[in-house]
Structure 1
Amino acid sequence: MANNNSKTAFENMKYEIAREVGVNLKQGYNGDISAREAGKIGGNIVRKVFQAYTGNSYPTERRGDTSR
């Protein structure tokens, strides 16, 4: 179970990223944001955590890449 410090750090990161990508995320209920906006926040969280954990930039998929 995560402690309060890690939850607070995650919350701070979530709101910071939302500001960076231009999504108006507010405290509490955010069911009015679009799936695209939520995805922008989530995707950037994954990218930031990946970079912090590995020290490498997050691999991006190239257009036309059908390997997945």
Structure 2
Amino acid sequence: MALGQKRNQLIIPQAAAAMEQFKWETAQELGIQVPQSGYMGDLPSRVNGAIGGNMVRKMIAAYQQSLASGTQPPTPQVTNARTTP
């Protein structure tokens, strides 16, 4: 994901490239011009929050759709969950 603080960790590290692509697609759908360098630190937090919020909204909709169609994606086993902030 972003190159800033690394507090958020993917549950499935192999999904990093797909999540990065998902971020760019969501930004494009929202009409947000992302710099070619990929550095998004110059964008206001409201813009970055909109990208992340829409990503979550789309993931929840996809999960709900899978439940409605009778197929449930496997739930990953979390082994390194952080318990302190």
TM-score range, shorter chain: 0.5 to 0.7
1:33 to 40, 43, 51: 43
| Worse overlay, 33-42 or 47-56 | 47-56
Q: Could you tell me how far apart the structure 2 residues matched to 1:15 and 1:35 are?
A: 16
Q: Which runs of 4+ in 1 moved over 3 A?
A: none
Query: Once the two structures are aligned, what percentage of the paired residues are identical?
Result: 40
What aligned pairs does 1:2-21 form with structure 2 within 5 A after superposition? 2-4=12-14, 6-21=15-30
Q: Which has the higher helix share?
A: 1
- Alpha-carbon offset, residue 25 of structure 1: 2.1
Tell me whether 1:51 sits opposite 2:61 in the alignment.
yes
Q: Could you tell me how far apart the structure 2 residues matched to 1:37 and 1:22 are?
A: 11
Instruction: Give the gaps of 5 or more residues in structure 2.
Output: 1-10, 67-85
